[in-house]
Structure 1
Amino acid sequence: MTPPVPIPGGFEKSEMYQVLEEACAIAGFDSADAHLLRGQTNAVIRLGRVPVVVKIARKGSRIEDVSRTVQFVRELMSVGFPTVPLLDIDQPVVVGQHAATFWTYLPQPERPVDAAQLAKPLYALHTLTPRPLQLPKHDNIRAIRRSLSAITSVSASGLRFLQARADCLEEKLREVTFALPEGVIQGDPQHRNALHTADGGAVLCDWDTVTVGQPEWDLVTIEVHCRRFGYGQPHYQAFADTYGFDIVRWPGYTTLAAIRELRMVTTNARKTGHAPGSLAEVERRIEGLRRNDTTSRWNLL
């Protein structure tokens, strides 16, 4: 049996396209011939007649959070930071309780951005001064517990394991002494949250998770993605060498890597209610965590 297709941004497709049509009408664009690019979290849609991407915030997102993201990106653009550009229109565009934002479309080659290409933009973000606007504090444990409270599809034993692991890692985190100064962090930097530019560079995108916190969280996220999704250790090492800090050699690495992986697992476990086809992969990852398996490859969800 074919696994169910994940619902884009928590919307049924007909509902998503209705929101798109109304948002485009407000912004002065034609939504004809649009097609979905991504739908795992937000619904990301390429307009067919102009080089514009529309991002419809995940169903249930707070409009004020999307407004803060718009303000943040505009401040980045004002200082020439390497980000995907927002269009210069009144944003976000609100349709009912749903917020849409409009971005410049950047054509992409088949290959994703290399980890090393993320190093300089991330370093620039981590050392950004003065910090733009008031951002929330980064808190992975809180995010994990929020996901745990919303999981409905994982087995009871699996859920108990995840809860116990969160308790254990929260205790271990209290013993970690961070090495880098606190700064603005992207929150989920990875190959799919950056885009190639025409001049061979890369820009960051997907700013929904931007917070104030320890840069080590961003650095360990890159390492986890290189290790778990098949990019390999040399790919990660090129990133570390370019950034100038190797998270693997830092004493707190093991704890942060375990917490970051647990957050990834619990986030995807929460979404299995809308994407039941991903449950088998989530259960496989949980079993790997039970065995303290840190090397097996994960499939993208």
Structure 2
Amino acid sequence: MSDVDTGLVMSGDPGDVLTSAGRKAGVPTAEAALIRDGTNVIYQLAGGVVARVGPPGSQLVAARQIQASRWLADVGIPVVRAVDDIDQPTVVGNRPVTWWVQLPVHRHASPAELGAVLGHLHALEVPESPSFPVVDPFEGLRESIDGGTVLPEDDRAWLRDLASRLHREYSALVPGLPRCVIHGDAWQGNVVVPRAGGTPVLLDLDHIGIGLREWDLVSLAVDYTDFARITDSDYQAFVDAYGGYDMTAWHGYRTLATIKELRWTAFVLGKAKTSTEAAQQVQHRVACLRGEIEPPWWWSAF
């Protein structure tokens, strides 16, 4: 790497990382337009290419996204496509950049469309290659709680106790349950449908792995039972499209639902040090989890 590239990496600016990665990969980046500034910083480039600049140290995750995209396409799951003629990911310092084929104008999937895609995904044979990791619903959770010093220690201690209880309950549920390839972050925004018509497409492969099918089903189920974001008919359409399995009737549902809600709370807790709105929202979410506010709840999106 040149001295110029080293300086770009040390700046930490994702735009600089993109510039350096584009030079290494032979991808023009001069007309890059920011799409989203999140965990991954996403840019639209000329020529129908989308670049994702991953966070520091996420090279293995980025490589797994590329492997997953190509494997899913090979087994017949419509999925966001990695650009084929580039060796991926392109690593600049300790940040990976991946290059994707831009999707046509699209909308979020309906509950039924999401259910159908998950049904097809979960029916796949677990591959020997590529090798996907086991999905751990508790990954990083304790660290997020410990670092959330905007909350009073009493609240953080309560969240730690809740996480420990849920971990015990989850560990008791897992033995004997079948595992399959799961998306890991399955919600309507991670399956999109071209507005001109066509097949739903699976996106955002950061968390793909081997795990319980219920972990993919719980997000929409929680939207239905605890937030009333989904109508009765839409939830039933989701269940029917998936194949008839309603996880809200499963004895382990409440455990997985609360794990998901705790993760959503921890995510906002991570933003609360620099956002007054996030700090207020996380206090509201903790009050909900502690039973001080009855569902259906209203949680602001972040």
**What TM-score bracket applies, with the shorter chain setting the length?**
0.7 to 0.9
Q: CA deviation at 1:207?
A: 0.8
SS in 2 for 1:54: strand
- Name which of structure 1's ranges 290-299 and 160-169 shifts more when overlaid on structure 2: 290-299
Q: What is the aligned partner in structure 2 of residue 117 from structure 1?
A: 113
Determine which of 56, 62, 65 is the counterpart of 1:66.
Answer: 62
Counting only pairs closer than 5 Å after superposition, residues 1-301 of structure 1 correspond to structure 2 as 15-47=13-45, 49-58=46-55, 60-88=56-84, 89-109=86-106, 111-131=107-127, 132-176=129-173, 181-197=178-194, 198-226=196-224, 228=227, 230-244=229-243, 245-273=245-273, 275=275, 277-291=277-291, 293-301=294-302
Counterparts of 1:232 and 1:32 in 2: how far apart (Å)? 45
Q: What amino acid maps onto 2:256 in structure 1? A: L
Q: CA deviation at 1:23?
A: 1.7
Q: CA deviation at 1:95?
A: 1.2
Percent pairwise identity: 32
Q: CA deviation at 1:175?
A: 4.1
Q: CA deviation at 1:275?
A: 4.9
Q: What amino acid maps onto 1:204 in structure 2? A: L
Counterparts of 1:13 and 1:206 in 2: how far apart (Å)? 27
Contact kept? 1:229, 1:298, Cα under 8 Å: no
TM-score, length of structure 1 as denominator length: 0.86
After superposition, the CA RMSD in angstroms is 2.6
Counterparts of 1:194 and 1:120 in 2: how far apart (Å)? 10
Counterparts of 1:12 and 1:259 in 2: how far apart (Å)? 37
SS in 2 for 1:237: helix
Q: Which runs of 5+ in 2 are unaligned?
A: 1-8
TM-score, length of structure 2 as denominator length: 0.85
Structure whose CA Rg is larger: 2
Q: CA deviation at 1:277?
A: 4.0
Alpha-carbon displacement from aligned partner over 1:150-178 (angstroms, at most 9, x marks no partner): 33333322212211111222233244368
SS in 2 for 1:271: coil
Alpha-carbon displacement from aligned partner over 1:207-238 (angstroms, at most 9, x marks no partner): 11112111011111222245538344433322
Counterparts of 1:180 and 1:108 in 2: how far apart (Å)? 39
* CA pair 213-160 structure 1, distance change in 2 beyond 3 A: same
Q: Which runs of 5+ in 1 are unaligned?
A: 1-10
Counterparts of 1:115 and 1:90 in 2: how far apart (Å)? 36
* CA pair 122-295 structure 1, distance change in 2 beyond 3 A: same
